[in-house]
Amino acid sequence: MSGPSGSQANTDFSDAGQPLEPLGLERYFRKLIIGIVFAVLVASALALFGDVRDLGDAFRNFKWWLAGPILLLTCFNYGLRWVKWEIYLRVLSLPRPGLWDSLCIYLSAFSMSVTPGKVGELIKAILMRRQTGAPVPKTTAIIAAERITDGLALLALAAVGLLSSTTAAQCWPWRSCWPLWSWSFCNARP
C-alpha cells in the first residue's frame, strides 16, 4: 500500500506463475545411484530365490547379438514418444523448458510407470509446474492423450498381428472388418 509518505507494503506478486524451484539434476544423481543399487539387489534376490538353473538356461540360450538392436529400438521408441510430448506442449501453447530439462521431465515419468493405471506419470505435470509454471490441468490432458494414443497404437499392432496370422486370416469376419479398422485408425485424432 502506498501512502503520502512513500512507504509501501511488500505486495510484489510479479513472480506468480513462475517456476517454484529450478530442476537441478545434481540433487537427483545420488538418488539415481541408490535406485540402481536397489534394482541390482532386487534382481539378485529374485535370482537367488527363484529357479537359478532355469534363469541360467535362459541367459545361456538368449541370442545376445539381439541386445544391441533391442536397446537401440527401445531408445528410438522413447525418442519418438518424447517428440510427441514436445508436439503436445506446442499445440497447447504451454511454456516449455529447455530441451534437456524437457527430456528429463519426460523420462522421470518412467520411474512411476509401475503405479496402478500409470497414475504416477502425473509427476510430469507437477515437474512442468515447478519448472515452467505450466498449469497442471493442461499438462495432465497431455498425459491422458498419450495414454489414449498408446492404446490406439496397441490396438493397431494387435490388429496387424491378428490379421497376419494364418488362422485369423482364414476367418472371413476379420477380413471383412479390415476396411472399417483402416478408416477408423486413419481418422482418429488425439
Boundaries of domain holding 79 = 69-165
Q: Provide the pLDDT for residue 176.
A: 57
**Is 133 contained in some domain?**
yes
Q: Provide the pLDDT for residue 143.
A: 87
Which position has the grid cell 536397489? Answer: 38
**Is 119 contained in some domain?**
yes
**Is 55 contained in some domain?**
no
Instruction: Compute how many other C-beta atoms are within 10 angstroms of the C-beta atom of residue 86.
Output: 15
**Is 43 contained in some domain?**
no
Low-confidence ranges of the chain (pLDDT < 50): 1-16, 20
**Is 19 contained in some domain?**
no
The number of domains in the chain is 1
Q: CB-based burial of residue 133 (10 Å sphere; 0-12 exposed, 13-18 middle, 19+ buried)?
A: middle
**Is 136 contained in some domain?**
yes
Judge contact between 96 and 89, C-beta under 8 A.
yes
**Is 23 contained in some domain?**
no
- Give me the amino acid identity at 119: V
Q: Provide the pLDDT for residue 14.
A: 46
Instruction: Compute how many other C-beta atoms are within 10 angstroms of the C-beta atom of residue 142.
Output: 22
**Is 87 contained in some domain?**
yes
